[in-house]
Amino acid sequence: MSDEYYMRKALRLARRGLGKTSPNPMVGALIVRNDEIIGQGYHRRYGEGHAEINAIRDTGGDISGATLYVTLEPCCHYGKTPPCVDALLKGSIGRVVIGMVDPNPSVNGKSIEILSRRGIETTTGVLEEECYRLNESYLKYIQTGLPFVTLKFAQTLDGRIASAEGNSQWISSESSRRLAHRLRSVYDGILVGVGTVLADDPQLTVRLVKRINPLRIVADSRLRIPLSARVLRDQDGAPTIIATTSRADKVKLSALKGMAIEVLTVGEDEKGQVDLKDLLKSLGEKGIASVLVEGGARIITSLLHQGLADKAVIFIAPKIMGRGIEAVADLGIRDMSHTIKLSFVKAYRRGEDLVLEANIRDAP
């Protein structure tokens, strides 16, 4: 069987860690001898054993002369666990096939170099694009310190996310909304503007599917959030951070602190709103590697305008609304040639809706 064949299997293993490994990457590994899989493993959860070690364990321990297939370059440093490269050398692995180099500064090709210097054949870049896409959050985060930002919204065919009066319940079908909950569960945080809290009073938890709740983040420069907002309840199940500015209402501030809600004071932008870059940086420092942005239009527009969004997941309902509210407001773009460019990654049906996933290629 080809290297691609085994790497595809390793990718499938890696995906089992979806939503559980952050801020670590998802990794899958396979050990093969004489065209027979003798061990397999994946990174199950942040802080637990790496995929390679789990695969070695799965063989019973004898990996001598065998080939390791791993979606991401093995580590060579002490983190929460000892370096994987040591275990491979100790076990006299015969060959190592790697999906992609780990851009983490403490790895970044070093492990490949160590293995090569020790006379072990290595092949890198097998199904590289798939391996890259698997860990888009981790890769952005490890290289920039900022979380990977995905914009998510549901719109009608004619581009409306709500009626002119602000009503958006429900544009998309129930099966789309279930998928949207599943999407929540694979992000470290969900971000909305306070306008969305005031209009819809969402819970922002994962209810329609059984998964882990992400951190809930509300950008609220003046602390206009009502203390009765649903996003402030059930802090044990899903903690909430309110991001505000120095202009915050002081009474509300103490009330929130009294409710044991974390309030994060960040800089403000030229409009007096929460400086989103500053907020993302703070979230990155807290280990939040990925954020799903669920609106409203102001926060979506601002993230796009500042080049802070990486991806868009758009649910398109087979409906036409006419006048209403659009997801993206004025970006200052006056010319077709200056639009923000994306590329479609996936398009699929979900119930009666269509779901489009697109990567944002460049900022305006």
Q: Contact residues for its own copies (CB under 8 A)?
A: 155-160, 163-165, 167-171, 301, 304, 312, 314, 316, 318-323, 326-336, 339-344, 347, 349, 352, 354, 356, 358, 360
Using CA atoms, how far residue 230 sits from 194, 235, 341, in Å, is 12, 10, 36
Name every residue whose Cβ is closer than 8 Å to that of residue 305 and which is 6 or more positions away in sequence.
331, 332, 364
| β-bridge mates for residue 28, sequence order | 42
The helix (H) or strand (E) run that includes residue 123 is: strand 121-124
Minimal distance, residue 162 CB to its own copies, in Å: 8
Which residue, chain included where needed, has tokens 């003046």? 222
- Going by DSSP bridges, is the β-strand pair 67-72/28-33 parallel, antiparallel, or unpaired? antiparallel
| Least distance CB 353 / its own copies (angstroms) | 8
- Smallest separation (angstroms) from its own copies to the CB of 201: 17
Q: Are 28 and 39 in contact (CB under 8 A)?
A: no
Q: What angle do CA 164, 191, 253 make, to 5 degrees?
A: 100
CA distance 240 to 230: 11
Catalytic: 270?
no
Who's near 32: CB < 8 A, 6+ residues apart? 6, 38, 66, 67, 69
Is 308 strand, coil or helix?
Answer: coil
Nearest to 7 by CA among 68, 89, 85, 93: 68
Q: What is the CA radius of gyration of the chain?
A: 23
> CA–CA separation, 169 vs 202, rounded Å?
11
- Residue 32, CA atoms < 13 Å, CB-side half-sphere: 20
Query: Which of 60/332 has CB closer to its own copies?
Result: 332
One-letter identity of residue 278: D
Q: Minimum CB separation from its own copies for residue 342, in Å?
A: 4
Tokens of 71: 């979606």
- Helix axes 3-14 and 51-59, enclosed angle (nearest 10): 110
Smallest gap from Cβ 348 to its own copies, in A, equals 8
Closer by beta carbon to its own copies, 257 or else 346: 346
CB-based contacts of 118, cutoff 8 Å, min separation 6: 89
The DSSP code for 274 is B
Q: Which of 4, 48, 52, 174 is catalytic?
A: 52
State the catalytic residues: 52
